[in-house]
Structures are given as structure tokens and as C-alpha cells.
Amino acid sequence: MDSFIDNIPEFLISAYLIMGIFVSLALFVLVLVIGMTALRVIKSIARIVENIERTSDLAINRIIEPLQEGFSFKNIAGNATSLLANFFTGVVSNAGNKQKDKPEEEKKSSGRKKQKWG
């Protein structure tokens, strides 16, 4: 019995070491998950900035340059409406692409359920 009581500090040290290993592994996994999430956010922001850059370039090419060249108001209005049409087409096509990427089961379950007759 005395040897067991004498070995209690060694058991506690071993338990603390094992717990330390598990805690350090858990923290390592947590850091990896946070890092991967941060990379996804950075890529998303880069895509947003790229879209804004493309839209501003398109606006400059279709609206501002004709103003500098002295085109008529009809041309400027037509270019502005085509810019808006392109924008809305992109928004709608992105929503369609998201639906295409889904498996068939999710496509069927994403809308309203059809009522079966008979």
C-alpha cells in the first residue's frame, strides 16, 4: 500500500502529460480549421473585389467613354441598360449554377412538394 501511495505523483505526472498531448492536438486541429476558414473568407473577398473591378471597367467602357466622346443621350442610356441587363443576367445565372451543382435529391426537395393524386 505504501508503494501505491508513493507512486501517486508519478501517476499524476503521467496523466498530466497525456492530457497535455490531447489538448495540444485539439488546439492544433482548431488552428488548422480557423486557418482554412480564413483562407476561404480571403478567397471570397478576392472574388467580390474582382467582380467589382469588372463591373467598374464595364461601366467605364460603356458609360464614361461615350460621354467623353460626345455620344448622344440615347447611346448612353442604351449602354447603361445593357450594363444593368448584364448584371441581372449574371445574378440569375449564378443562382442557376448553384442549383445545377446540387444532386438530384436536393433539387427535388428544395422546391415545393408536389401533391400526388390517387
Residue 29 grid coordinates: 486541429
Evaluate if pTM is beyond 0.75.
no
pLDDT at 77: 74
Give the model confidence (pLDDT) of 33-84 as tens digits.
999 999 999 999 999 988 888 888 887 777 777 666 666 666 677 777 887 8
Q: How many domains does the chain have?
A: 1
Q: Are 79 and 62 in contact (CB under 8 A)?
A: yes
Q: Is residue 104 in some structural domain?
A: no
Mean pLDDT over 13-19 rounds to: 94
Q: Is residue 51 in some structural domain?
A: yes
Residue-wise burial string across 40-78, b where 16 or more C-beta atoms lie within 10 A, e elsewhere = eeeeeeeeeeeeeeeeeeeeeebbeebeeeeeeeeeeee
d(CA 29, CA 18): 17
Q: Is residue 97 in some structural domain?
A: no
Q: Is residue 1 in some structural domain?
A: no
Q: Is residue 105 in some structural domain?
A: no
Residue indicated by cell numbers 444532386: 103
pLDDT at 62: 74
Which residues form the domain of 82? Answer: 7-90
Q: Is residue 112 in some structural domain?
A: no
Greater confidence (51 vs 95) lies with 51
